[in-house]
């Protein structure tokens, strides 16, 4: 082969190689680098949050979405500068599947952190703790442990309660139960009340909320140790969104925002008094009606008549002739001085008393600084209704001096009892006060108010959504920017049993 032929072959091969390299470089230049999950979210402007439709997590009421998970996830979306879209799912299994399959960016659904779950997903910082309670109906035989159960026990499938029972079966081999994917914790509690079931296990927070109006629910015993609630993220090599969540919760905990939300939703339900709850329910059904129209008239357009009614019950149990040794009288228990200021000429006249109480509550609301928003504004006004604004202001000053937030009820209610101690009240303008009383006063009224909402069919229950239905945070109908979810509801399954 001649030199010329070799040269020609070499030149052809070189040209082919150069062409291949140029093509590879062109393709590489056209391809965008792979985006992280966080970058994808910020590019789309949408944060997909899978959640659970429940009073303890996320629900939609007449004026929009609510719930502690809704509040936190919305704050997180604001933190990222994007719009949250919530996808409620009924099945715990579907919630975890959505996270693992990448159909949701994370789950905010009141999920407890367990060892087995941590093998599937990556949990962010815990934000709340809960305990599991075995519940039965008042009047039935009280079991002290799993060995004393005598009847039907049912829990949510794929729940931490199911996992706890599997562990307990090692200690109590005869223990048996069924699991369901067709019911919520609240429905299981209803089944216990109507005696379709004998027992169920629920989270303490859900039980506290339900026992406000379902007073026949009784705690038999606590199951296992306290557990932490946290958001769940996909367990992969992309930590971008997870890291932001950890940083977000660090800031939220430091600012006190998490504790404020917990107090807002659950601060008035932790302590349960069976006798008081039963008495109030009976009174609301038998004694309130003659005064209902009076409360509605005095509430006008700026107050909720049920809040006024709750104050009236706390003050006098709706007794128009009530009087105390300190000189307060009537349904709203007005002092003689307050009655005169409010234009009340006859404190024992129910309509005058209710009108005077409404006017006084308005006066207290005006005393609260405008920068303080709801619901803290109302709680401060109620405390002032009980103890006077001066003492509330003293407690707010103490709160500020101790480095807490004087504009948040959750912080001030911890300092109000300090007004009984000389070392604190001697430094205040208005001096000694029984500061624990307004704390109990506000807590009781909040509880009564919730029950009145429930009795009047305007309770903060969720509007049922179809599984997988996306809901934008502003409650707008999802548009092309907020497409319906790809999540598909699983077909209904029969409950599975765990028997010997």
404 burial level (CB within 10 Å; 0-12, 13-18, 19+): middle
Q: How far apart are CA 277 and CA 408, in angstroms?
A: 27
Q: Which two tokens stand for residue 231?
A: 């958001």
Strands 153-156 and 83-88: unpaired
Rounded to 5 degrees, φ, ψ at 491 are -65, 155
d(CA 350, CA 353): 5
355 is a catalytic site residue: no
Catalytic residue among 315, 370, 393, 464: 315
Q: Cα separation of 378 and 213, whole Å?
A: 23
**Nearest to 350, CA basis, from 323, 320, 329:** 320
- The residue behind tokens 């079991």 is 143
Distance CA 161, CA 179 (A): 10
- Buried b / exposed e over 117-151, threshold 16 CB at 10 Å, is beeebbbbbbbbebebbbbbbeebeebeebeebee
- Which residues are known to be catalytic? 315
């Amino acid at each position: 082969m001649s030199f010329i032929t070799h040269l020609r072959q070499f030149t052809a091969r070189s040209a082919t190689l150069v062409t291949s390299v140029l093509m590879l470089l062109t393709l590489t230049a056209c391809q965008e680098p792979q985006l992280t999950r966080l970058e994808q979210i910020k590019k789309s402007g949408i944060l997909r949050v899978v959640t659970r439709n429940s009073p303890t997590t996320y629900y939609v009421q007449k004026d929009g979405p609510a719930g502690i998970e809704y509040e936190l996830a919305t704050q997180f979306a604001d933190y990222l500068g994007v719009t949250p879209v919530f996808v409620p799912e009924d099945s715990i299994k579907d919630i975890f599947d959505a996270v693992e399959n990448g159909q949701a960016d994370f789950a905010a659904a009141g999920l407890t952190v367990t060892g087995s779950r941590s093998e599937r997903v990556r949990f962010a910082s815990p934000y709340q703790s809960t305990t599991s309670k075995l519940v039965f109906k008042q009047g039935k035989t009280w079991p002290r442990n799993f060995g004393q159960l005598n009847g039907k026990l049912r829990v949510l499938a794929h729940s931490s309660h199911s996992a706890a029972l599997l562990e307990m079966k090692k200690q109590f081999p005869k223990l048996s139960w069924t699991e369901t994917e067709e019911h919520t914790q609240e429905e299981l509690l209803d089944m216990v009340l109507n005696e379709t079931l004998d027992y169920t296990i629920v989270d303490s927070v859900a039980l506290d909320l339900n026992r406000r109006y379902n007073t026949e629910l009784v705690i038999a015993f606590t199951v296992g140790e306290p557990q932490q609630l946290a958001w769940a993220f996909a367990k992969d090599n992309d930590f971008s969104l997870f890291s932001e969540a950890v940083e977000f919760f660090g800031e939220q905990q430091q600012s006190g925002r998490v504790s404020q939300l917990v107090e807002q939703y659950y601060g008035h339900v932790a302590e349960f008094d069976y006798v008081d709850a039963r008495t109030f329910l009976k009174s609301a059904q038998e004694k309130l009606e003659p005064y209902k129209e009076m409360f509605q008239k005095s509430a006008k357009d700026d107050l909720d008549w049920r809040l006024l009614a709750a104050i009236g019950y706390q003050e006098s149990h709706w007794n128009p002739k009530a009087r105390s040794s300190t000189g307060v009288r009537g349904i709203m228990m007005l002092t003689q001085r307050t009655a005169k200021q409010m234009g009340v000429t006859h404190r024992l006249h129910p309509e005058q008393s209710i009108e005077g109480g409404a006017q006084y509550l308005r006066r207290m609301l005006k005393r609260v600084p405008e920068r303080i928003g709801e619901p803290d504004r109302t709680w401060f006004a109620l405390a002032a209704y009980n103890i006077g604004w001066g003492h509330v202001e003293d407690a707010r000053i103490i709160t500020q001096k101790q480095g807490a937030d004087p504009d948040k009820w959750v912080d001030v209610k911890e300092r109000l009892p300090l007004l009984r101690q000389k070392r604190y009240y001697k430094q205040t303008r208005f001096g000694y006060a029984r500061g624990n009383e307004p704390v109990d006063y506000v807590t009781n009224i909040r509880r009564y108010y919730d029950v009145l909402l429930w009795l009047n069919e305007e309770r903060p229950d969720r509007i049922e959504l179809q599984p997988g239905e996306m809901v934008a945070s502003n409650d707008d109908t999802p548009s092309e920017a907020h497409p319906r979810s790809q999540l598909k509801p699983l077909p209904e399954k029969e409950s599975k049993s765990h028997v010997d």
